[in-house]
Structure 1
Amino acid sequence: MNDIPVRVKSQPQRVVDGVSERIHGGALKPGDRVPAEPALMREFGVSRTVVREAMSRLQASGLVETRQGVGTFVLATPMASPLLSVGPRDIQVRQKLAMLELRISLESEAASLAAARRADAHLAAMRAALDTFDAQRRAGGSTTEADFQFHVQIAAATGNEYFQEVLQSLGNATIPRPAGAGSAAPTSPASTGARFGEAQPVLESGKAVTQREHEAIYEAIHRGDPASARAAMFMHLTNSRERMRLSLLAASAPKASIGD
């Protein structure tokens, strides 16, 4: 059994997380002053340099601003949408394909890292997503949620929260899930757009192919083979981009009129 190294938060990140939790939890409200450097140093048992690095990270994330000679203050929640938060209905075909292109490079590396770092709990979560995907596929149901969860669990297995955050944002845009999940009302490709992992009429065998590709990724991660995991994910997402391209082209093609 592989020894999984314990990943410990850096000192600046501990301070960032502590202050962020107070802001998001309402203990620190917009306009409130963040505790001064000496107070944070005592609370977290860190140096002044660590506190200043943490404040720089909080400023970069838009949570606080530092006023020279006065202190650091909580900012109001920004109205602008964060990076990659655009919804699936608001992006064009070109953007969807471009996002999948980005996912190819990101998730290939994520799969490689997951193979090196995964714990038994990660493998169990991936296996559960794969089994749900297969059950839904065989029952003729939607496999979208299980597909999404499989990729999210691989990102989680990297141990790098930024992989998970970025990939989940990309997934939200390129793996749209139907509104009102669990509803019995059917949704058509025309109303929801092409879904990553969902077979369209022109690609009826798409789900079975996706299942086989997912299994190849899982097996490489399970046996701790980073190179094979990277290659399997690269092939899967490259194929997925082509499936999406064909599905989107089919959906946007002009319909033949009566008599044509």
Structure 2
Amino acid sequence: MRIGFPMQTALVTAAIRAAHQTHDDGRVFRDPFAEDILGPEAAPLMMSLPVVPGYHVLRFLMTARSRYAEDALAAAVERGCRQVVILGAGLDTFGLRNPYRRLGLRVFEVDRPSAQADKRRRLLRLGPHLPDGLTLVPAEIGSDDLAAALAAAGWQADEPTFFQVLGVAVYLPPTTTFDLLRFIAGLPQSHVVLDYTVPPLSQSPEGRAVTEATMAETAAGGEPWLGFFEPAALATELTRLGLSDIEDLDLTALRRRYLHEGGPDDGEFGPHVLCARRPA
């Protein structure tokens, strides 16, 4: 199981978040460090974004899923959670923005060693040391033991933990994603936000076109999509693993929540984001 992908994916995702700040005034998700973390690469990357398949859909989706995850984290913090693990962290900037630092929230970012070396270089360009409460955990999940890698970094397995798993599941075989969810479900008072995509044949024609174009683009870059899930089957498996309070939002539901756009459901567009937790 690998979490942490070629830097191109992380760069594009960060550029999309930065573009949202510029073009949408951060309407859905405020990230004042989105452009800073990119540095000199920001401008050329943002200029190249319109050629990305489904760019306008992605610009909303990437920011809405981050907003959703951090809204869920806020609720977890209210319930006493003081650890967050960001899997496949890439150039995520929550460690810079952590509004719960004074409450003692610790942030563990997990990604492959080369990605973490790049992230460390970028963070140190913004300040003389890493932000307080942020730990970069270099790990190749699948060849490395995730629990051991986190424990070595100071993570406490017996304390409530919030797991953010965004932009990860599509790159993993479904069995690998279920192994990860099984690990999370086995922890006391764990919380997880996961995004995923339904199979192309279950999507609307418009959604399928964007998905297939994106799949071709990422496969050409050496990042094939491997994992798709049907919402009902995924919810059944999460329940079987012992996770509850499951909320699953598709793109239409996200638009209604964060853009207050009403109207009928326009069909399955592919992306979903869900939240679940293990009760105390």
- Answer 1 or 2: which has greater helix percent: 1
Report which of the two structures shows the higher radius of gyration computed on alpha carbons. 1
Q: Which has the larger share of strand?
A: 2
**TM-score band, normalised by shorter chain:** under 0.3
- Alignment TM-score, normalising by the size of structure 2: 0.20
